[in-house]
A and B are shown apart, each in its own frame.
Chain A
Amino acid sequence: MKQFWFYFKNGIIGENPVLRLMIGLCSVLAVSVKVENCLAMGAAVIFVLTCSSIVISILRKVIPDQVRIPIFIVVISTFTTIVDLVMKAYLPPLSKAMGVFIPLIVVNCIIMARAEAFASRKPLLPSIADALGMGIGYTLVITAIGVVRELFGYGSILSVPLLPETYQNMMFMILPPGAFLLIGIYIGVLNHLSRRVNK
Chain B
Amino acid sequence: MSVTFVDLFKIIISAAFIENILLARYIGLCPYIGMSTNISNSLGMGMAVAFVMVLSSIVTWSLWNYIFIPLKLEYLRIMVFILVIAVLVQLVEILLKKNLPNLYRAMGIYLPLITTNCAILAVTFFGVDYNYNLLQVVIYSISVALGFTVATVLLAGIREKLRYAKVPSFYRGYPMAFIVTALLAIAFIGFKGLIK
A78 CB–B CB distance under 8 Å: yes
Between B34, B86, B174, the greatest number of chain A beta carbons within 10 A of the residue's beta carbon is seen for B174
Contact: B122 with A104, CB < 8 Å?
A: yes
Between B28, B78, B186, B189, the greatest number of chain A beta carbons within 10 A of the residue's beta carbon is seen for B78
Interface majority SS (helix, strand, loop, mixed), chain B: helix
Contact: A180 with B179, CB < 8 Å?
A: yes
B-contacting 9-mer, from A51-59, A161-169, A185-193: A185-193
B residues lining the A interface (CB < 8 Å)? 23-30, 33-34, 75-79, 82-83, 86, 115-118, 121-122, 125-126, 168, 170-171, 174-179, 181-183, 185-186, 189
Tell me, rounded to whole Å, the shortest Cβ–Cβ distance linking B156 to chain A: 16
Which of B24, B77, B78 makes the CB contact (< 8 A) with A176? B24
Contact: B78 with A84, CB < 8 Å?
A: yes
Contact: A26 with B24, CB < 8 Å?
A: no
* Chain A, interface residues (CB within 8 Å), range: 35 or more
Interface residues of A in 78-133 (CB under 8 A from B): 78, 80-81, 84-85, 100, 103-104, 106-109, 112
Contact: A175 with B185, CB < 8 Å?
A: yes
A12 CB–B CB distance under 8 Å: no
B-contacting 9-mer, from A2-10, A36-44, A66-74, A148-156: A66-74
Contact: A179 with B26, CB < 8 Å?
A: yes
A74 and B86 alpha carbons, distance in the complex (Å):
11
A199 CB–B CB distance under 8 Å: no
Contact: B30 with A81, CB < 8 Å?
A: no
Given contacts A84-B78, A183-B178, 17 further A-B contacts (CB under 8 A): A22-B33, A22-B34, A26-B26, A26-B28, A26-B30, A29-B26, A100-B122, A103-B77, A104-B122, A107-B82, A107-B116, A175-B189, A179-B182, A181-B178, A184-B179, A187-B174, A188-B170
Residues in A whose Cβ lies below 8 Å from that of B186: 177
Tell me, rounded to whole Å, the shortest Cβ–Cβ distance linking A49 to chain B: 15
Contact: A22 with B175, CB < 8 Å?
A: no
Interface majority SS (helix, strand, loop, mixed), chain A: helix
Contact: A30 with B170, CB < 8 Å?
A: no
Residues in A whose Cβ lies below 8 Å from that of B115: 69
Residues in A whose Cβ lies below 8 Å from that of B24: 176
Contact: B82 with A77, CB < 8 Å?
A: yes
A184 and B117 alpha carbons, distance in the complex (Å):
21
Q: A184 and B176 in contact (CB under 8 A), knowing A30-B25, A104-B27, A176-B23?
A: yes
A163 and B139 alpha carbons, distance in the complex (Å):
46
Q: A195 and B170 in contact (CB under 8 A), knowing A104-B27, A177-B189?
A: yes
Tell me, rounded to whole Å, the shortest Cβ–Cβ distance linking A78 to chain B: 7
Residues in A whose Cβ lies below 8 Å from that of B83: 70, 73-74, 77
Residues in A whose Cβ lies below 8 Å from that of B75: 81, 85
A146 CB–B CB distance under 8 Å: no
Residues in B whose Cβ lies below 8 Å from that of A181: 178-179, 182
Contact: A69 with B86, CB < 8 Å?
A: yes
Contact: A73 with B26, CB < 8 Å?
A: no
Which of A30, A85, A107 makes the CB contact (< 8 A) with B117? A107
Residues in B whose Cβ lies below 8 Å from that of A177: 182-183, 185-186, 189
